[in-house]
Structure formats: C-alpha cells, structure tokens
C-alpha cells in the first residue's frame, strides 16, 4: 500500500535476510507506475486496499504475469482466492468449512430472517465476498436485526454478500492462523478479539500470541493446504473450533499478514522459501511470449 496508515506490517523483517541471500529488494506500492518487467520476481505483500479496486489490482498483476517476471503468489491463485466463493471449492474437496451461504444482494427483512432459519442460529455474520481486514463485516444478533436492517440494506442492498453463523468459539477461545511457506507449516498464532468486539485483527484491538498447534489443528491445516489448486509461496489458514472439529474460516493467498514477528525463525523461513522456489524453477523457466 502507498499509505500503511495504522496497519501492522512485519514483512520488512525478511528484507535484510533476503539481501544477505543476494537479493536486491524494493518495496513498491502496487498502484504506482513501476517497470515491473525490470524485476526477476514480484511478491505480493500487504496490499490491503486492493478490495477497493479489484479490477485495477488484477490488471496490474496481469501486466506482471505477461512479462518474464515471476509473480508470487501466481495470478491463477489470486484470481481463485479473490472471491470467498473459493470456500465452496474447498468444501467440495473435503475441507470442513464454517457453513456459508452466498446471495447476490439483500432484499428484505424476510431474506435476513431466512438466513437465521437456514443456520438455526441466533447470530449471523454478513460480509462482502471480496474483503480484507473485516471491512463491512457485521455481527447480527437475531434480537437486534430490525435495528441493523437499514445499515445492512445500505451496504448489501445492491451488492453480493456472504452469510455465516457466528461461531461462539471466536469469543471463548479465538481464531487460529496457520502459516505455510512453500507448502510447509511454519508457525501458528491465536487471535482473540477485544473484550467488546468480535473482530480479531490487530487494527480492531485483537490480541495476537504465538501458540503450539495441536495435532488436530495441524491435520485440518494439512487438508486445507493440500486442497489448494496450485502451489503457493505463502498461505495463511484461519480456523475456528466448532462441532468437535476445526472449521476453515478463510484461506488467505493474496495479502495475508504472516505474523513473521511472532516466531524468531519465521523471517528466515520466508526468505529461504522465496529463494528455494526461485531456484527450483529457474532452470525450467521458459520466457513468455506476448
């Protein structure tokens, strides 16, 4: 992003290590005029405003992809991951997900009540399918839906949205994030919301701490990463406990915070993963033709 504002960003922890491995590293805003073809590799990181202009974002990535510059994560994965309907693909591949419905737009109070009935839930989460950092994400208790309805109609009355039952474990336990680098598990964190909120992001007051992932959580993460239609350089898998299993909330392949500061060896793992992926493909890379 050109302006990081209040966002917490620790990608720079890997820069010194990359330079020690022989890389020249520039950190450039995605929406500025850049000769992307002048680089061997472009790594998408912390582009937390792309959801405001997704077509422009994809256009820039397309320009990079058409050159001989390698893009990580690949544009095919970005396109697949851009809209959270990818959850349906993962569910079809056997990955347990938080139950999710999709709608083209919110039409009435009756439609909202139908969602409560569909999940047999007293609380819902509504959010856009293209979204970052819990932007326009609403927690809707059934007892308060009438008061929230005007705002919900203003936001979703003319745009697609997704709806899920609110998962109580977000409050009682928190949301787990598993970080994968070049397909391998790196580290895990637990995110818990501020006492008067449900959002776990740091920008909303969430508390982040490193944890040792239990075997059941690691097994759920393995199933999710193996279901990705491609090999990402980096991935973050967000999960919550529900119904005796860990359920996938999101699988982030575009711009997830990787929480490199939460594990002293994580920055080096990131640098090693990038160098390894580059060297693995270097001798098999065929120049692209336009």
Greatest extent of the chain over all pairs of C-alpha atoms, in Å = 61
The rounded distance, in Å, linking the Cα atoms of 92 and 87 is 9
Q: Where in the chain is the domain with CATH 3.30.1490?
A: 101-165
Take residue 68 and report the two structure tokens written for it: 């001989």
The rounded distance, in Å, linking the Cα atoms of 245 and 242 is 6
Whether residue 249 contacts residue 221, with contact meaning beta carbons closer than 8 Å, is answered with: no
Q: Where in the chain is the domain with CATH 3.30.470.20?
A: 1-96+168-280
Quick one: angle between helices 54-66 and 75-82, nearest 10? 160
Sign of the C-alpha dihedral computed for residues 158, 162, 168 and 171 taken in this order: negative
Tens of each residue's pLDDT in the chain, 290 residues: 888 888 888 898 999 999 999 999 999 999 999 999 999 999 999 999 998 899 999 999 999 999 999 999 999 999 999 999 999 999 999 999 999 999 999 988 898 999 999 999 999 999 988 876 667 889 899 999 899 999 999 999 888 999 999 998 988 899 999 999 999 999 999 998 766 655 545 555 568 899 999 999 999 999 999 999 999 999 999 999 997 899 999 999 999 999 999 999 999 999 999 999 999 877 555 555 54
Per DSSP, 225 falls in state H
| Listed residue (191, 209, 189) closest to 200, CA to CA | 191
Question: Which pLDDT belongs to residue 107?
Answer: 87
The architecture in CATH of the region 101-165 reads 2-Layer Sandwich (3.30)
CATH topology of domain 1-96+168-280: D-amino Acid Aminotransferase; Chain A, domain 1 (3.30.470)
Question: Which pLDDT belongs to residue 192?
Answer: 85
């Amino acid at each position: 992003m050109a302006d990081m504002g209040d966002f917490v960003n620790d990608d720079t922890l890997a820069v010194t290590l990359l330079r020690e491995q022989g890389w020249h590293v520039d950190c450039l805003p995605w929406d500025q005029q850049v000769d992307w073809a002048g680089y061997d590799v472009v790594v998408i990181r912390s582009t937390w405003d792309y959801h405001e202009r997704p077509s422009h974002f994809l256009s820039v990535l397309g320009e990079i992809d058409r050159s001989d510059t390698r893009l990580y994560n690949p544009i095919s994965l970005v396109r697949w991951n851009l809209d959270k309907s990818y959850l349906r693909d993962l569910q079809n591949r056997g990955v347990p997900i938080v139950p999710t419905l999709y709608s083209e737009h919110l039409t009435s109070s009756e439609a909202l009540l139908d969602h409560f009935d569909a999940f047999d839930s007293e609380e819902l989460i509504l959010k856009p399918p293209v979204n970052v950092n819990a932007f326009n994400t609403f927690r809707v208790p059934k007892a308060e839906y009438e008061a929230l309805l005007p705002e919900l109609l203003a936001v979703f009355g003319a745009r697609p949205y997704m709806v899920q039952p609110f998962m109580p474990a977000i409050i009682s336990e928190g949301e787990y994030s598993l970080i994968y680098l070049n397909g391998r598990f790196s580290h895990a964190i637990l995110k818990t919301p501020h006492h008067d909120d449900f959002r776990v992001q740091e920008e909303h007051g969430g508390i982040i701490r490193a944890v040792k992932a239990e075997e059941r959580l690691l097994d759920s993460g393995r199933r999710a990463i193996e279901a990705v239609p491609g090999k990402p350089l980096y991935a973050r898998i967000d999960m919550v406990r529900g119904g005796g299993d860990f359920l996938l909330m999101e699988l982030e392949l575009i711009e997830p915070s990787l929480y490199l500061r939460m594990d002293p060896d994580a920055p080096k793992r990131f640098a090693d993963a990038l160098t390894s992926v580059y060297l693995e493909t270097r001798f098999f890379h065929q120049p692209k033709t336009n």
